[in-house]
Structures are given as C-alpha cells and as structure tokens.
Structure 1
Amino acid sequence: MTDLQKLCVAYFAVLMIAASLNYVPGLTDEDGLAFGIFALDIYDDALHVASALWALVAGLTSHKAARTFMVLFGLAYLGDGIFGFFTGYGYLDLGIFTNGSAGMDLSLGRILANVPHLLLGGVAVWAGIKNIGRPA
C-alpha cells in the first residue's frame, strides 16, 4: 500500500468522524451547532459518508485510484470551502440552492466553519498532484 493509499484510508476515518458529529452527545449545542460553530444536516452527513466510502475504496483499490480520489475530492472540497467564505454556504451539500447568500464574511465562525474543507481539500490536491509515495 502506497503512502497515497494510506492517506485515503486516513481520509476515510476523518470523514466518518465528521459524519458522526451530530450523533455524539455534547458536541452540539441547543441550536444544533457542532462545537457551537456550524450546523450539520442529513445532506452534510450523506456527503461525508459518501466521500469517506469513496476514499476507502480508492485507498484499497490502487495507487492510481487513490491519486484520482485525492485530486477530484480535493478540488471539490477546496472549492466548497472557498465558496463558503463568499456565500456562507457550500455547493457540495446543495446549501447554495436551499439558502440565500449570506454574503462575504471573514468572522471567526465563518472561518472555523470552512477551514476543515480548505485543509482537507488543500492537502488532498497537494498530495494527489505531487503524487506522494508513488510506486517505483
């Protein structure tokens, strides 16, 4: 298993944790905000689980599948995080279609809500393009 495949398996774990946040007692407040910062709904959970399963299958299949996952997933999540700064909602969970734009906002809450997608997406794109741990 190459480093990129191992990273896919790690992404599986991280994304499954993200999908479970709403279901761990004490992590959401009375308004349903995870860590008091952002709301996750069934669409977010489905997106995280689907992405996690894609990561797992790619990681267990081949280095090429892992690289494809990293680049495509990374671009999608990175773009979603950037879009979140401009509108307050992402496109991956269809939030931009179900909510009006909240406008540009660089508040701490908006930053913390979008940083996970920026980090996951950025690292994935970097790892996929750099092709880390490619087989000899």
Structure 2
Amino acid sequence: MTRLRYICFGYFVALMIAASVNYIPGLTDDEGLAFGIFALDLYDDALHVASALWALIAGLVSHRAARTFLILFGAAYLGDGVFGFFTGWGYLDLGIFTNESLGMDWSLPRLFANLPHLALGGFALWAGVTETGGK
C-alpha cells in the first residue's frame, strides 16, 4: 500500500464527514449555516459523496489511480476555492453560474468559507504532483 493510496482513504473519510455536516445536530445554526460560516445544500452533499467515493475507489485500485485522483481532485477543488474566495461562489456546485458575483472580500468569513476547498485541493494537488513513486 502506497502513501498516495492512504491519502485517498483519508480524503474518503474527510469528504464523507463534509457530506454529513448538515445532519449532525449542533453544527448548523438557525440560518442553516455550518459552523455559522457557510451553507451546504443537497448539491454540495452529492458533490462531497461523489468525490469521497472517487477517492475510495482510487485508493483501492492502485497507486496510479490514487495519483490521478489527487491531481484531478486537487486542481478542481483548489480552483473552486479560489473562485469562491474571489466571487463568493464556486463552480463545482454551479454557484458561479446561478448566482451573481459577490465581489472580492478579504474578510475572515470568506476565507473560512473557502478554506476547506483551498486546503484539501492544495494538499491533494501537491501530493499527487510531488510523489510519483509507489512508496
């Protein structure tokens, strides 16, 4: 079992947790905001579950599949986080196509709302690009 395959299993767990946030009492406020910062809807949950299953399958299949997942997933989620930071909406849930841009905002809530995609995407992309051997 290689390091990248283990990382994929970690992503499976993290993404399944993200998909379950709306369903754990106390993690959303009266306005439906998770941790009081961002809203997750059915599209977000479906995206997280699909991504989690992709991570699980990649981790089970091979080192090459794990590396491919980490690079593609990483690029997609990192880009989504960047778009979210600059516009207030991401593209993976089609938010930039269905909502008007909120414009640039350097506030902590905007940073925290996009930090999960920036961090998960950035780490996945880094891991997939920097490790090529089956270690």
Q: Give the structure 2 partner of residue 109 of structure 1.
A: 109
Q: How many residues were matched structurally?
A: 135
Shift of 1:98: 1.5
Shift of 1:84: 0.6
1:26 is paired with a residue whose SS is: coil
5+ residue gaps, structure 2: none
Q: Percent of aligned pairs with the same residue?
A: 72
Write the distance in 2 (CA, Å) between the matches of 1:72 and 1:110: 24
Matched, 1:8 2:12: no
Shift of 1:135: 2.1
Q: Where in structure 2 are the equivalents of 1:25-36 lying within 5 Å?
A: 25-36=25-36
Shift of 1:85: 1.1
Q: Give the structure 1 partner of residue 134 of structure 2.
A: 135
5+ residue gaps, structure 1: none
TM-score using structure 2 length: 0.98
Q: Give the structure 1 partner of residue 56 of structure 2.
A: 56
Q: Deviations over 1:28-82 (max 9, x none)?
A: 0000000000000000000000000000000000000000000000000000000
* Contact 2:85/2:105 (<8 A) preserved: yes
CA RMSD of aligned residues (A): 0.9
Q: Give the structure 2 partner of residue 46 of structure 1.
A: 46
